[in-house]
Every structure is written in structure tokens, then in C-alpha cells.
Amino acid sequence: MRRKVTLKQIAKELDVSISTVSKSLRDSPEISEDTRLKVQAFAKLYNYKPNNIALSLKNKKTKTIGIIIPEIVHHFFATVISGIEQVANECGYNVIVCLSDESFDKEVINMEMLANGSTDGFIMSLSKETQQKKDFHHLQEVINQGMPVVLFDRISNDILCDKVIIDDQLAAYEATNFLISKGLKKIALLTTVDYVSVGKLRTDGYLNVLHDHGIEVDESLIIRIEDTEHCDEKINELLENKSVDAILAVNELFAVTAIKLAMSKGIKIPEDLSVVAFTDGIISKYSTPTITTISQNGIKMGRKAAEMLIKRLELEDEEDEHYKTEIIETNLIIRESTKS
């Protein structure tokens, strides 16, 4: 077993100083060509590679980005990571991933863990619990220490930092508008509880468009689903007791569940019921019928977030304090679940 070789060992072996070895390997003009080549040859032979930890300590830069997200077994979040990783890779950064599991405490612990030197900055999406508690001291702490943070998707206006989101409200507005344009009027909304920021915004968009079209809002058509546990139950109730001709769902899962339940009741899609969902994930593409969705380009979101973070990291000198919020455009991907 050949352990990794260090500068010190090379220096000893060649009977020169550590400085000389270091300089030789960095092609310093201070060193004569003779020794430089000798050292380089030796280093190559022993496959010398500088130790990242030592470099991090010296440079006070880890070249590592901390990602904290609620969960990873989730198509959207996976695509975001993928996007982040692409950019990180291009720029010589690594990513270290932590999962909050939708728990406030875990989010805090992970953050404190990584903030103690492990990463140069953070890219994160808030856990449900954090959004509910509205307690962002851990983020503030980190930001105060001068570490850049970029929030995506599940953000909060109470935190001053860079952000990247889609225009949830506008997207919901447009999607609902699309349904209305097809002559549909009784449009139900399957959404989350209001403390989830994106759920709230999407609900607002839905409400606005109804208002703008002079359609009266029927509160009983708005189903707020807390956990996926009672998802079936609540949707069943809707389908049985109300006559709806369209559904806007804030995620794929709600949509596909609604479609399945509807079909089992003999309701034809899209003839009797049109369905549009947020998040253009794997389910929408492969379910039967395929589902019309609002694309939420995770890759692009991840890439943008990474670009913003790295830009801050490399420009560290004078902190702009001029935080930006980037909006990733969405578009409606029309598939089989909506009337044409």
C-alpha cells in the first residue's frame, strides 16, 4: 500500500527544501531549470498531487458548494442538483449534499456543520417546517459570516440573498388561463397548505385569473392537501361531490392521482376533465394519458443558482450587497390531459 506522497517527503528524498519543491512544481522562475526538472520528474514518478485539505486551510477556500434540500428522491430536486453540478464541475468546484428531510432541525444542523469551514457557500431550498416556522436565524448567521447563499424555488422574502425561482404566480395564471380559453369554467385547484411558498403563490395566480375573468371563486373547489396521506381521500371527495371540468395541480403527484381516480370513476380525460400540473417531471411524460404541465426547468435553475453563487465567491472582494432574484421562464407543455 503506497500512501500519498507529500512535499516534505519529496524534499527529503531529493535533499532540497520544501520551498524548493513547492516552487519547482509551480514553475517558479526562482528555481534553476536543473532542479526544477529533477523535482518535477520525481513528483510525476511518485504521482504527487497537492493535498486539498491543506490547500483549503491555507487559502481559506474549499472550492466546495453546500447544497441543502428537503429531499433528493424527487425529480425536480434531482435535476437542480444536476444543473448545479454541471456548473460546479466546469468551475472546479465540488458539491456536498445534505438533506433536511423537510425538518427544520436537520436543516439547521446541516447548515452549522457545513458552515464551519466545509464549504464556501450554500445553495438551498427551504424545508416545509422552516417555511412554516419562519425562523431563518441559521441562514442569517451564515450570511453574516460573509458566506454567500443562493435560495431556489422555496424561498423567503425575509432573507436577503440571491434567489432563483420561477414566476409561480404568473405560471399558475397562464396555465389556468389556458384552461379557461378552452371554455372550461369549473376549475378545481389541488394545492398545498399555504405556508409552502410556492403553493401559496400558485394559488394566488389561480385566484387572480378567475377574478380577471369574472369567474366567481368557489372555495370548495380549492383543495389544500397537507400530506400525501389523505391525498386520495380529498380528491375523491371533490370528484364525487362537485362537477368540475378542469383541474390545476401544483405538482405531478396530485395530478396523476386525480387522473387515476377520475378514470376509475369513468370520467374521461381530457373529454370530461382537463388536467394541468406544475413540474414537468418523469410522471407527466410517461403516465397515460400524458399530462400537460408547466415546465420547471430544474437544470436551468440549478445552473443559474450555481453561477450566481460562484460569481459571488470569485468576486468576494467588495461585497455588492446588491442581491438579485433571477426568474427562470416556464412554458406550458401541452400533452394529452387537456382538450385541444
Of the candidate spans 12-20, 115-123, 126-134, 180-188, the one that interacts with a copy of itself by CB under 8 A turns out to be 115-123
Contact partner, 137, from DNA, a copy of itself, none, Cβ < 5-8 Å per class: none
User: Is 194 in contact with 161 (CB distance < 8 Å)?
Assistant: no
Nearest-10 crossing angle of helices 33-45, 7-14: 120
Which residue in this structure is represented by grid cell 437542480?
Answer: 80
Contact assessment for residue 225 and residue 190, using Cβ atoms and an 8 Å cutoff: yes
The contacts found for 309-312 with CB under 8 angstroms, 24 or more apart, are 309/65, 309/121, 309/122, 309/123, 309/148, 309/150, 309/162, 310/65, 310/87, 310/88, 310/91, 310/93, 312/121, 312/148, 312/162
Q: What single string gives the DSSP state of each residue in 51-70?
A: -HHHHHHHHT---EEEEEES
> Taking the complex as a whole, how short is the minimal distance between the CB of residue 68 and DNA, in angstroms?
22
Question: Could you say which of DNA, a copy of itself, none residue 241 binds, taking C-beta under 5 to 8 angstroms by partner kind?
Answer: none
The cell 388561463 sits on which residue? 177
Residue ranges in 132-171 that form contacts with a copy of itself under rule CB under 8 A: 141, 144-146
Given a copy of itself, DNA, none, residue 18, with its beta carbon under 5 to 8 Å by kind, binds DNA
Instruction: Give the span between the Cα atoms of 100 and 125, in whole angstroms.
Output: 9
Q: Give the residue carrying C-alpha cell 458566506.
A: 147
* The three cell numbers locating residue 309: 453563487
Question: Which residues in the 69-108 window bind a copy of itself by CB under 8 A?
Answer: 71-75, 78-79, 81-82, 85, 89, 94-99, 106
Q: Does 322 bind a copy of itself (CB under 8 A)?
A: no
Residue 35 burial (10 A CB sphere; 0-12, 13-18, 19+):
middle
**Maximum Cα–Cα distance across the chain:** 88
Binding letters toward a copy of itself, positions 257-276, x by CB under 8 A: ---x--x-------------
CA dihedral 83, 54, 4, 11 (to 10 degrees): 140
Nearer to a copy of itself, 92 or 214 (CB): 92
Query: Residue count at the site for DNA (CB under 7 A)?
Result: 30
The binder of 264, among a copy of itself, DNA, none, by C-beta within 5 to 8 A per type, is: none
Cell numbers 389544500: residue: 224
Smallest separation (angstroms) from DNA to the CB of 15: 7
Q: Residue 74: which of DNA, a copy of itself, none does it interact with, CB under 5 to 8 A by kind? A: a copy of itself
Q: Is 328 in the site for a copy of itself (CB under 8 A)?
A: no
Indicate the Cα dihedral angle 157, 163, 165, 170, nearest 10°: 50
| Per-residue interface string for the shown chain with DNA, residues 43-62, x marking contact by CB under 7 A | -----xxxx-xxx-xx-x--
C-beta separation of 67 from 123 below 8 A? yes
End-to-end CA distance of the chain: 67
Question: Which of DNA, a copy of itself, none is residue 322 near (CB under 5 to 8 Å by kind)?
Answer: none
Within 217-256, which residues bind a copy of itself (CB under 8 A)?
A: 253, 256
# residues near a copy of itself by CB under 8 A: 54
Binding site for a copy of itself (CB under 8 A): 1-4, 47, 49-54, 56-57, 62, 64, 71-75, 78-79, 81-82, 85, 89, 94-99, 106, 112-118, 141, 144-146, 253, 256, 260, 263, 282-283, 286-288, 319
Binding site for DNA (CB under 7 A): 6-8, 15-20, 22-23, 25-26, 30-36, 48-51, 53-55, 57-58, 60
